[in-house]
Structure formats: structure tokens, C-alpha cells
Chains A and B, each alone.
Chain A
Amino acid sequence: GENVEQHPSTLSVQEGDSAVIKCTYSDSASNYFPWYKQELGKGPQLIIDIRSNVGEKKDQRIAVTLNKTAKHFSLHITETQPEDSAVYFCAAGTGFQKLVFGTGTRLLVSP
């Protein structure tokens, strides 16, 4: 079955810096790769997603890149702000069935 690895587990940056979180997946059949932000006591919130027919997608300060050959995908946050502090999860899925999640990255943005 699918296995998703996520690094780093914690990431501390200064406000205004960029943050990069990386994930790898094992199942070449996976074709959908969402990223979720989870704040304390809340459910995961979708922040951006990408499908296997696209190599890069950007939404304001957030971008995701996908390398299907290497089975890597990454989240890039530019101009980080304190409110970006949260736990971020990557996931991989096929069609509309189950998502397999990474273990999460705790991002701390210091003012």
C-alpha cells in the first residue's frame, strides 16, 4: 500500500523567511496530493492541492511542486507570518478514495 514520508518534523523560521516541507510517496498510482494545515484543537484545513498532470501550482504565498518521476512533492510558503504557525500534513491519494497522510511538520514562525 501507499506510504508517505514527510520532513522535517519541526521547522522554525523567522517572520518573512521562506519555509519548505518535503514529502515522498511510494505508490506510483497516486494522482492527487493535497496539503492540510491543522491548528490546535481543529480539523485539518485544505490549503492547496495538486494533481499528477500538473508540475507546479501557486496560490498567493503558497506553492506546491510535484516530481512524479522521483515521487516527491513539496510545499513552499514565502513571506511567512506568525499566523502560519501550525502543523502541516501532506497526503497522497487515488481518485476519491482514501488519503494516506504524512506524519506532519510543526511550523513555528517567530516575529
Chain B
Amino acid sequence: ETGVTQSPTHLIKTRGQQVTLRCSSQSGHNTVSWYQQALGQGPQFIFQYYREEENGRGNFPPRFSGLQFPNYSSELNVNALELDDSALYLCASSSGTPISDTQYFGPGTRLTVL
């Protein structure tokens, strides 16, 4: 069974640029959630995708957008990068049922905005 994978591992961008982060969900999982983890803080929920549709969103501006593909992999896009967007971006996959909602996290993508 393959776990959650994310790419790239690290990324450096400059303010105003755009970035795309990728996530492959665990085998058999149809739900992907994205979180932002600032240094020294707990993860904060960005949004969740369930069967290719957005299924809940946290307190993040519209320049944070996402996509889920038919194979349930997902992308997180951030436009007009700001310095405060520097963080570890985590994706988590789950099987998408109220009974089995355990979220398994990937290793994350470390984004640095200069």
C-alpha cells in the first residue's frame, strides 16, 4: 500500500509569483485535505476535495485554489505569493466516509517566499 506523497519537497519563490503543489493520495482514498503549517504552529485547514469537488474551506483567501483529478490526486495553487505564505504545506488523504475519516498526512512541501 502506497502512502501519501507530495512534490516538490522544497520550493523557493519570490513575492507575486504563482506556485503549484502536488499530492498523491493513499491507495483507496478519495478525499484530500490541504493544510498550511507555519513554523512552530499546528496545521491550519485550507480546503478539502471529495470526489473532485471542493468539500469545505478554511479561512484562506481565493488566491488559494485547488483541484482534484479522477485518480484522486490533487493540486494546491497559490497566486500572488506573499511573504506570509512561507510555510510547510501538507496534504492528507482519507477514505471519505463518516465512519472512516482518519486523515493520513504526506511529508509536506516546504515553500519559501522571498
A interface residues with partner B (beta carbon < 8 Å):
4, 6, 32, 34, 36, 42-46, 49, 89, 91, 93, 95-104
Docked complex Cα distance between A102 and B4 (Å):
23
B103 touches A34 (CB 8 A): yes
Docked complex Cα distance between A6 and B42 (Å):
10
Given known contacts A43-B106, A44-B90, A99-B103, is B41 in contact with A104 (CB within 8 Å)? Answer: yes
Chain B residues whose CB sits within 8 angstroms of the CB of A4 once the complex forms: 42
Docked complex Cα distance between A104 and B38 (Å):
12
Query: Of all chain A residues, which has the CB nearest B43?
Result: A101
**B102 interface residue per 8 A CB criterion:** yes
B45 touches A100 (CB 8 A): yes
Q: Say which size band chain B's interface belongs to.
A: 20 to 34
Chain B residues whose CB sits within 8 angstroms of the CB of A49 once the complex forms: 102
Q: Which of B58, B98, B108 contacts A43 (CB 8 A)?
A: B108
B31 touches A42 (CB 8 A): no
B105 touches A93 (CB 8 A): no
Chain A residues whose CB sits within 8 angstroms of the CB of B94 once the complex forms: 96
Chain B residues whose CB sits within 8 angstroms of the CB of A91 once the complex forms: 42
Chain B residues whose CB sits within 8 angstroms of the CB of A32 once the complex forms: 101
List 13 A-B pairs, Cβ < 8 Å.
Answer: A32-B101, A42-B107, A43-B108, A44-B43, A44-B90, A44-B105, A46-B102, A96-B97, A97-B56, A100-B45, A101-B43, A101-B44, A104-B41
**B48 interface residue per 8 A CB criterion:** yes
Which one of A97, A98, A100 has the greatest number of beta carbons of chain B within 10 Å? A98
B101 touches A98 (CB 8 A): no
Chain A residues whose CB sits within 8 angstroms of the CB of B96 once the complex forms: 96
Chain B residues whose CB sits within 8 angstroms of the CB of A34 once the complex forms: 102-103
**B33 interface residue per 8 A CB criterion:** yes
B105 touches A98 (CB 8 A): no
